[in-house]
Amino acid sequence: MNFYEHQDRARRRTLWLVTCFGLAIVSIIVALNAVALVAVNASARQPVTLQAWLAGSTWAWIAAGVVGVISAGSIYTTLRLSGGGPALADMVGARRVDPATADPGERRLQNVVEEMSIASGTPVPALYVLDDEPGINAFVAGTRPSETVMVVTRGALETFDRQELQGVVAHEYSHIFNNDMSLNLSLMGVLAGLMLMAQIGRLMLRSGAHGRSRNSGQFALLGIAVLVIGYIGLFFGKLIQAAVSRQREFLADASAVQFTRDNQGIASALWKIGQAVDGSLLANRHAEDLGHFCFGTPVQAAFAGLLATHPPIAARIAAVNPGFRPLPTAPGVAMPAAGASAADGLGTSGFAAGNATAAAAPTWSEFEAGSVAAPPPAAVADSVGTLSPRQVAFGQALVEKLPVTLHERLHQREGALQVLCALLVNAAARGAHDTVYDLVQSHRADLVAGLPELVGAVRDLPPAARLPLAQLAMPSLKLLEAAERRRVVTLVKSIIVADRQFTVFEFALLCLLRDHLADAATRKPPVRFFDFAAVDEDLRLLLSVLARHGHGDEAAAAAAYLRAWRPFGFGDGGLLAREACTMSALGRSLERLARLSPLLKKNVIQAAADCVIDDGRITVAEGELLQAIALTLDCPLPPLI
């Protein structure tokens, strides 16, 4: 099953979850009405028939009460989590990791996550730590990749070595790719509603038990009925939650091995959880709600075989590494010395000793070429939501090769903005450099100090590093206040306009800023279109822009366009005129295409690649353009290096 199928399955599972939720509410209404009818008949002189009961209004009031209570619980939790991943991290009391942290464990986590994000084309998630949790655990949460958070316990940071941490991070990235995060948030809302019903039953029972009126006993009995029926509904809700979660954990473990080409790291991480005193258990009061989010089981489940959100550790280890034998614990990780590479002391080329991939990893010089042999368009589309050893090596090499000054600036709010400005200076026409500096100074005078040094550092990096560098700046920029984020976007647009040319990198950068810094960045575009007929003009514009970008000759552009256009079955709609193929128009069309169902997005990315890849090679700019398109469609495309 590929990325698009996983995304579509997650969407359909959400609909299935809503259906099950509706059936649970109906079942509770029927059960409570049955209890009420029996109670009435027990004390009535004249028995009430079912027909008479339904002819009255009591059953409707019971139904309205059940719907109101359960909906209130679900809506409250859903609204509380409307901010996505950051809202959940705040709810459980996690601390946001300062991008400029000096803590060795946090630095190591930061480097591993940055490497994985570059390799997969996925936005760098915000990192959080549960400081008071000795249990070994981690989870990701969010409504879309651009606002994902990764939460790690202090126990995990202190227990895992780099190789094990890589396995766990790769496991969590599988959940990002497969859209498990959105389903997890939906499950949390559903279970909160069912839990509220049971809690109200408990409250009614206590009130009746302590009451002194003649009706107190009946009220207590009704409370028992509500409590029992509520918990039965909750039991079946958790049963569904556990069944869904267990299968996803096996899949994420297998994906982690596929991504890192290393089955020792994740197997060793699981083994350490099994050996630890606290295991993966959490003391957090929301631990039970987080069961289906976490890497390991956060609470001891009743009816462990049925309600366990995770398979047994031994079964998970056997699935990824049948012949696993624990290795001696790696020594602690030392911080890099001043002037050393950002990744020094954190594992050569990113992998811990014993990982066979490191020996076969490509050298940095292989990534410095301006173009590479192009894969078939279908292979480009299939690469979404996955990564190869070569891409992993690229991510590790880039983080390792970044000059210390540049790496440190990326982890500071003002420094990240300076790096962004340096990238734009390098992208601008030479005659416009002074204008760019003036615009930066008008935004904030202190940003100009040290900017020439950063411009030189960025210029020394290969072109393939431009977009990943911008991605690494996003976590720090997202820490800015909302008004300042808007000013940053305005500044970038002003710089882009300054030299009267709109390059592919600048377009890709705007896509990145819109997905991270815009006010609506946390909101996932809803699926609205289930066939291409509703977006045929948007497709036509997208393919026209791509054909004209890659082919200066009119005939070659028309041929590339038709090759990509015809499979959609809309006839021979002609290549749009050059003046219609603007980047701003492309941005608007991509926003509509982002509302296509997941399975249709694969055809869009494949057609886009077909337009760009014509001469058997793909340039850095062409790769950036494809990544920008995929980013807007919420389809993480790894770098085509």
Catalytic positions: 172
Whole-angstrom distance, CA of residue 131 vs CA of residue 259: 29
- CA 613 vs CA 120, 340, 631: distances in Å: 20, 39, 19
Cα dihedral 159, 164, 170, 172 sign: negative
| Listed residue (70, 106, 87, 110) closest to 522, CA to CA | 87
Strands 126-130, 149-153: pairing is parallel
- CB neighbourhood size of 82 (10 A): 12
Burial level of 618, CB count in 10 A (0-12/13-18/19+)? Answer: buried
Q: DSSP labels for 518-539? A: STTTTSPPPP-BSSGGGGHHHH
Residues in the chain: 641
Is residue 178 classed as helix, strand or coil in its secondary structure? coil
Strands 138-141, 95-96: pairing is unpaired
Whole-angstrom distance, CA of residue 179 vs CA of residue 189: 17
Whole-angstrom distance, CA of residue 30 vs CA of residue 23: 10
Q: DSSP labels for 249-318? A: HHHHHHHHHHHHT-HHHHHHHHHHHHHSSSTT---STTTTTTTTTBSS--SPPTTHHHH-SS--HHHHHH
CA distance between the termini of the chain? 24
Place of tokens 């990893």: 361
Q: DSSP labels for 53-72? A: HHHSSHHHHHHHHHHHHHHH
Q: DSSP labels for 342-366? A: TTTTS-GGGPPTT-HHHHHPPPGGG
| Exposure on the CB side of residue 119, measured as CA atoms within 13 A | 26
Bridge partners (DSSP) listed for residue 138: 152
- CB neighbourhood size of 502 (10 A): 15
